[in-house]
């Protein structure tokens, strides 16, 4: 599975390592992704999502239903099966 947050779409960024001598080499900045189980009361089921820690904070603030609805409107997920 790729290193992309399923709710926010955060993905790897690239940049430079800069040494003390100011030599630059390429590096990658990975998002802090966690696999977490969430309960959706409207559907009465549990789902596993690979989400960033910032998405977890958003879920705590807004609720899982609102965050899933926003992600569907942005086109990140498809809820209808």
Residue 8: inside a domain, yes or no? no
pLDDT in tens, 5-44: 999 999 999 999 999 999 999 999 999 999 999 999 989 9
Q: CA Rg, the chain, in Å?
A: 16
Residue 40: inside a domain, yes or no? yes
Residue 4: inside a domain, yes or no? no
Residue 80: inside a domain, yes or no? no
Question: Rounded to an integer, what distance in angstroms lies between the CA atom of residue 10 and that of residue 55?
Answer: 9
Q: Give how many domains the chain has, as a whole number.
A: 1
Residue 18: inside a domain, yes or no? yes
Nearest-5° Cα angle at 58, 45 to 67: 50
**What is the pTM for the complete model shown?**
0.82
pLDDT in tens, 45-57: 999 999 999 999 9
- Domain boundaries, position 28: 13-74
Residue 46: CATH number of its domain = 2.30.170.40
DSSP state of 35: E
Residue 6: inside a domain, yes or no? no
């Amino acid at each position: 599975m790729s290193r992309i947050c399923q709710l926010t779409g955060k993905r790897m960024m690239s940049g430079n390592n800069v040494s003390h001598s100011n030599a630059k080499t390429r590096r990658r900045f990975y998002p802090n992704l966690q696999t977490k189980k969430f309960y959706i009361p409207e559907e009465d089921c549990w789902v596993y999502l690979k989400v960033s820690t910032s998405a977890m904070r958003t879920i705590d603030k807004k609720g899982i239903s609102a965050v899933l609805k926003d992600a569907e409107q942005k086109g990140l997920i498809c809820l209808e099966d």
